Structure 1
């Protein structure tokens, strides 16, 4: 679909994404250098404050309205036994999110973060939940095809998945200051590991983790499945849509789109764990400037997650050995986003505190 200027929806979004604003970054750094504490004493939090100023073009970055968007999609490759849990758990977890009984609900509540659940590719339908407005429907298909036997989806469906994420960002932008990413889809560490292998060139055997907790035999099977998927599908690392179509997932594409859409609105995006980082990798392959709007929440126990973060040159805020997904790491990191803004806006400078220049030089 093209707009009145002849641009596709994706291209129009890409054209709205610019790097962080250098002037606001510089002004934030100058302010932080005046605070009543040793130079850069709060380390990564101060770096985050500068990033938030550059992202939002403000020395008082708005962060009060937070939303974690949980993208839901099922995976045909789950039939290969790559997960400890059956595909039915995806549906069960959607209802758990709506009841407020999941990990993301508990952690999001503590950081005053809303949870928005979006069905982009679940195997089952949620008509009642959609009709009552409890989840958002952007369904592309009822789960992907099995990547061990062919492409996950068509190229058209891959584009549609990314566009669905952008549409969600567009719909929520007016009521959201900070986006967080989340995911739900049994088996989705398998396509995410395949994506990591394509973009990093690392060996599948060194990237593959245990996901939901598979044993040694299950791990070997999972490695073999991913290697077969890559050999059969041969995704092109220079074409993010091709990678998504051949070995990705609907929810991974939608996460990529959410990130792109948020960046187009100059909104920070707190990227959750491994699956979300695979989505971020797709987004950055499509539009590199989107990297400037990523806040990487944490590094999970999945080996490929650390490698992807390194590829993206993104330092995680937390390392807590998390592996739940759902957006839980993003919800935790929202506290640090609040803290970074508090440093920028609430800590007194030397002059405000009445500290002399000589005392300041001693502290520094």
Structure 2
């Protein structure tokens, strides 16, 4: 991880100058779509996905030839509260499994022709226990955001994923801080806690909110006090992708916690993002509703690793292939009007 970072004020300044979606590119894509050999609107959301790609990239002929699944892995001090049935050492073991091509995400990426990069975020030094102190100091949180910003170069379609024992607990804390309501509505089963474990998880989130309650009006403070390094890095990745005009596919419950921080700062900050799927974890469906994102898939997934986003990347690339590869009525010699 880089030791350099951006002050929080600089992050806010970047958000104030994000490039808008390109309406000229969108109009050009719609015009071509109207000439393709199909009834108007017959490809449904596939057509809208191509318009979205072009408007983010500012290209009348968008690309998705260098797709990347970026998985960020972090460890969490809150696991000391018994919020997961697995020890923190599983995070490093799963990262090794990714490197050995042994995980579900490896198989999906290989099948769909997607690149995969896994970023370890100081796994040997978990963030602080959020029930006792802030997860990160401002400098460390900002440095991790900066790391995420630097990690996503060289792609034209980014799917985000994560790995980290305890990270559904910190994600639930982020949502509860941003959205309010009963703590239990945001807490899910994660990797499969039993009833006692679930109760400990709810209690940990409640204790963290109580401890930090005087500082939760600022979404960046919510991130540093209640989040994790992988969440902070994904905030940076989403932000950098917008600046570099890279379309982003969000994965599930934990990835969307990063998106929720940016959305709380500026709802337009997620205009370059689509939701890959609706996770079975926790209140992910409610999170997506608040973010204004309709998921592409709903397969009951709750694995993480970017699996849902990667599967959705296959749909996005297929949508683009239809748009760029189909013949127009004129090219095919087919009459498009009676």
TM-score by length of 1: 0.86
Query: Which residue of structure 1 aligns with residue 148 of structure 2?
Result: 165
Structure 2 partner of 1:278: 257
Q: Give CA deviations for 1:70-101 in whole Å, capped at 9, x if unaligned.
A: 11110001111111211110111111111111
CA pair 328-350 structure 1, distance change in 2 beyond 3 A: same
Matches within 5 A, 1:251-262: 251-262=230-241
What CA distance in whole angstroms lies between the structure 2 residues aligned with 1:235 and 1:348? 60
CA contact (8 A) 1:24 1:59 kept: yes
Cα pair distance change 1:203/1:16, threshold 3 Å: same
Structure 2: runs of 5 or more not aligned: none
Rounded to whole Å, the distance in 2 between the matches of 1:303 and 1:8 is 32
SS at the partner of 2:46? helix
Secondary structure (helix, strand or coil) at the match of 1:68 reads strand
Q: Cα distance, 1:47 vs. partner? A: 1.2
Query: Offset of 1:48 from its aligned partner?
Result: 0.8
Counterpart residue number, 1:267: 246
Could you say which residue in structure 1 is the equivalent of 2:103? 102
Coordinate RMSD, CA, aligned: 2.2
Distance 2:242 2:121 in 1: 20
Shift of 1:7: 11
* 1:342 equivalent among 298, 321, 324: 321
1:306 to 274, 278, 285: 285
1:319-351 Cα distance to aligned partner (Å, 9 max, x none): 011111111112211111111111221222333
Deviations 1:45-75 (A, max 9, x none): 1111110010111122111111111111100
Matched residues in 1 for 2:71 and 2:89: separation?
Answer: 17
**Corresponding residue number in structure 2 for 1:147:** 130
1:131-210 to 2 correspondence within 5 Å? 142-169=125-152, 172=153, 175-210=154-189
Q: Distance in 1 between matches of 2:84 and 2:297?
A: 26
Aligned to 1:76: 77
Counterpart for residue 116 of structure 2: 115
Number of the residue aligned with 1:222: 201
Give the C-alpha shift of residue 316 in structure 1.
Answer: 0.9
Q: For 1:284, what is the secondary structure of its paired residue?
A: helix
Measured in 1, the distance between the counterparts of 2:296 and 2:323 equals 17
Query: In 1, are the aligned partners of 2:170 and 2:227 still within 8 Å (CA)?
Result: yes
Shift of 1:284: 2.9
1:11, distance to aligned residue in structure 2 (A): 5.4
Unmatched runs of 5 consecutive residues or more in structure 1: 125-141, 360-364
What's 1:129 paired with? none
1:240 aligns with 2:240: no
- Give, in whole Å, the separation in 1 of the partners of 2:147 and 2:121: 8
Q: TM-score, normalised by structure 2?
A: 0.92
Partner of 2:93: 92
**Pairing of 1:33-44 with structure 2 (within 5 A):** 33-44=34-45
Moved more, 58-67 or 227-236: 227-236
Paired residue for 1:135?
none
Match of 1:321 among 300, 321, 329: 300
SS at match of 1:358: coil
**Inter-partner Cα distance in structure 1 for 2:214 and 2:21:** 31
The separation in 2 between residues aligned to 1:16 and 1:110, in whole angstroms, is 38
| Displacement of 1:2 | 9.6
CA–CA separation in structure 2 for the residues paired with 1:146 and 1:43: 46
Work out the CA distance in 2 between the residues paired with 1:16 and 1:266: 13
